[in-house]
Amino acid sequence: MKPVFAAASAIMLSACPVLAGETPWQEVAPGARLRVISSDAVTAGVIRVALELELAPGLKTYWRVPGESGVPTTVAAAQKGAPRLSAILWPVPQWDIEAEYVDFVYRDHLVLPVDLTIGDHTADPLTIETTMGICSDVCVPVKAEFELPVGTGKTDFAQDLRIRQAAAETPIAWDRETSPIGDPAIEPATGTLTFTIDPKLIDPGRLFATVEGAGLGFAPPQPIPGKPNGFAMKLLARPGMAAAAATAVRFTFVTARGPYEIVQPL
């Protein structure tokens, strides 16, 4: 069943006093709490923080592309030095398949690393805002705000290790000369993506595809009868979003060596 949005569509939370490497936990929805953690280490003007989310059983939140019925997760930061969001390191999601809808989700526990460019403004605290959907049968879009000091001169090694472990589990660019995904093409009339994979490298059940730059994803891959190692993925349409002519697809997948991403032109 498609989630029903609660009438109170946003919860605004202000930060309490914080430790150098973490903010207090905030209950953003029943059964869900969120905080920001940091190593407090600034390297070449960039600091890596992370959103840490704990979800009770039955709850979920969403990937960078939410799917057909999900709520996009966004992150923004403010500081005297006007920090720039350099990157969000997204872990590989899980499939969430209902009777009529397909979404890309996280459950249980999520550490989402975020790189912020702050330059020399280490004496000024960061204000970090995020919006996300916390969903079960009812979906509540929440908005939380945290304040985090930086540049205390003392690295929080425990949080640094946790953030490094989370970053190590996020996809990196494919680093071999030969692509494990061949002959990608989209059928214009149906939006169906077809391609081949190397089954020795990629588990189709841990393969995700999105239209590069368009915020559109595809349903789980299905074998193409009569085509060895051939698969097809149906484009997931979201209300009010037109599927413009795609020029490239980003594949996210898991191998025995870890998670990877590759952008393939069409």
In this structure, how many other beta carbons lie within 10 angstroms of the beta carbon of residue 91? 18
Q: Which residue has the higher pLDDT, 152 or 144?
A: 144
Q: What is the pLDDT of residues 217-253, one digit of tens each?
A: 999 999 999 999 999 999 987 554 455 567 889 999 9
Question: What are the tokens at 82?
Answer: 């006007």
Binning pLDDT at 50, 70 and 90, where does residue 153 land?
low
Stretch (H or E) spanning 94: strand 94-97
Evaluate if residue 8 carries a pLDDT over 50.
Answer: no
Q: Which residues contact 121 (CB under 8 A, 6 or more apart)?
A: 79, 80, 81, 83
Evaluate if residue 148 carries a pLDDT over 60.
Answer: yes
Specify the pLDDT at position 17: 40
Average pLDDT over residues 113-127: 82
Specify the pLDDT at position 152: 62
- The CA distances from residue 160 to 25, 34, 42, 153, in Å, are 18, 18, 11, 14
Q: Which residue has the tokens 């150098």?
A: 20
What is the rounded distance in angstroms from the CA atom of residue 46 to the CA atom of residue 192? Answer: 40
Q: Domain spanning 173-265 has what CATH number? A: 2.60.40
Is there a shared CATH topology between the 4-170 domain and the 173-265 domain?
yes
Largest CA distance in the chain: 63
The strand pair at 126-135 and 94-97 is best described as unpaired
The strand pair at 258-265 and 172-173 is best described as parallel
CB 8 within 8 A of CB 140: yes
Mean per-residue pLDDT over the chain, rounded: 85
Binning pLDDT at 50, 70 and 90, where does residue 156 land?
confident
Specify the pLDDT at position 66: 92
Specify the pLDDT at position 15: 40
Evaluate if residue 3 carries a pLDDT over 80.
Answer: no
Domain coordinates in residue numbering, the chain: 4-170, 173-265
In this structure, how many other beta carbons lie within 10 angstroms of the beta carbon of residue 8? 9
- What are the backbone angles phi and psi of residue 235, rounded to the nearest 5°? -65, 135
Specify the pLDDT at position 114: 94
Is 129 buried (19+), middle (13-18) or exposed (0-12) by CB count in 10 A? middle
Specify the pLDDT at position 45: 82
Superfamily the domain 4-170 falls into: Thiol:disulfide interchange protein DsbD, N-terminal domain (2.60.40.1250)
Q: What is the pLDDT of residues 48-93, one digit of tens each?
A: 899 999 999 999 999 999 998 888 899 988 887 677 788 999 999 9
Question: What are the tokens at 234?
Answer: 């149906």
Specify the pLDDT at position 238: 57
SS3 letters for 197-258? Answer: ECCCCCCHHHEEEEECCCCEEECCCEECCCCCCEEEECECCCCCCCCCCCCEEEEEEEECCE
Beta bridge partners of 67: 103
Q: What is the pLDDT of residues 177-219, one digit of tens each?
A: 889 999 999 887 778 899 999 888 898 999 999 998 777 899 9
